Amino acid sequence: MAVLDQADPRPLAKRLGLETGYDQDGKFMAGRELVSRDVTDPKTGEAQIESIILSVSTVASHPGKTLAGCTYSLDLPEEEAPARPELAPPPITGPGSDGH
């Protein structure tokens, strides 16, 4: 990540062809996915999606500065993503919960 002496991030975001995601309340965020490809973990054979996103933003901790950098991630394909039971609604219990 780079901290640039540039108060307005919009010209840089435009020059880099980034899509503005947020621009209000003194906060600016823009980005563009540079890489999105299917890869295979060489150790496990598991399918993954490699993604690299270029972004430009402002942050309250660095007033008058622009932050620029990349985010790298490896994710499971949507159909292979593990279930997240902590996000599932609780089971319905009590009188009448058996469908009768």
Residues 49/36, Cβ–Cβ less than 8 Å? yes
> What pLDDT score does 72 carry?
95
Is residue 9 domain-resident? yes
Structural domain harbouring 71 = 2-78
Is residue 7 domain-resident? yes
Is residue 58 domain-resident? yes
> What pLDDT score does 77 carry?
85
Is residue 57 domain-resident? yes
Is the pLDDT confidence value at 84 over 50? yes
Is residue 92 domain-resident? no
Is residue 61 domain-resident? yes
Domain count, the chain: 1
3-state secondary structure of 49: strand
Is the pLDDT confidence value at 99 over 50? no
Is residue 86 domain-resident? no
List, for residues 10-68, the tens digit of each pLDDT value: 999 999 999 999 999 989 999 999 999 999 999 999 999 999 999 999 999 999 999 99
Is residue 88 domain-resident? no
* Rounded Cα gap, residues 57 and 20, in angstroms: 10
78 band by pLDDT with thresholds 50, 70 and 90: confident
Residues counted in the chain: 100
